[in-house]
């Protein structure tokens, strides 16, 4: 029996001066673009959050995994994460080793919004509305060149639902 492939689950919080809803992800990353938070977990390990906006750096293990096609990268709306990470590293990452939880949800006729899908599935972890509001405030502050330290509730929200559904 073949060994089970490692999975790196990823969720990003980002900022751009380009409105994502009006242009799509490729144009979004061409603006004044920043990855603010990088949440990740390998397999069933605890989720870790790197606050790139405040100068924290990705661990080498994560960087290596991003470029290792034998490791599956998984995300909700994986195309967004892959495109943002491609921009961050200044290269074009292949979609071949990426899996998209949103596509899986669509194939099961589940909602395409993470919060709604989690509600429908009645997962033990739900998105935190206070964390979502706080994150929006943080993104707006980033637009003004202010990068406040990550509030704990955002970290909790990312740990609970965004990385693994």
Domains observed in the chain: 7-162 (3.30.420.10)
Predicted structure pTM score: 0.75
**Model confidence at 158: pLDDT above 50:** no
Q: What is the CA radius of gyration of the chain?
A: 15
Report in angstroms the alpha-carbon separations of 73 from 14, 23, 78: 18, 25, 8
User: Is the Cα torsion angle 49, 51, 56, 59 positive or negative in sign?
Assistant: positive
Task: Give residue-wise pLDDT tens across range 105-157.
Answer: 777 777 667 677 677 777 765 555 555 555 555 555 555 555 555 544 444 44
CA within 13 Å, CB half, 141: 14
CA distance 56 to 40: 14
């Amino acid at each position: 029996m073949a060994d089970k492939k490692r999975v790196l689950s990823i969720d990003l919080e980002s900022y751009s001066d380009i409105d994502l809803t009006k242009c799509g992800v490729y144009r979004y990353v061409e603006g004044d673009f920043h990855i603010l938070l990088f949440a990740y977990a390998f397999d069933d390990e605890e989720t870790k959050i790197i606050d790139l906006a405040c100068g924290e750096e990705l661990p080498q293990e994560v960087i290596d995994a991003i470029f290792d096609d034998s490791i599956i990268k998984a995300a909700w709306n994986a195309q967004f994460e892959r495109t943002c990470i491609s921009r961050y590293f200044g290269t074009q990452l292949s979609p071949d080793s990426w899996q998209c939880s949103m596509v899986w949800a669509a194939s099961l006729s589940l909602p395409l919004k993470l919060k709604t899908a989690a509600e429908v599935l009645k997962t033990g972890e739900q998105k935190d509305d206070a964390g979502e509001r706080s994150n929006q405030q943080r993104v707006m502050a980033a637009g003004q060149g202010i990068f406040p330290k990550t509030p704990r509730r955002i970290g909790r929200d990312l740990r609970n639902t965004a990385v693994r559904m």
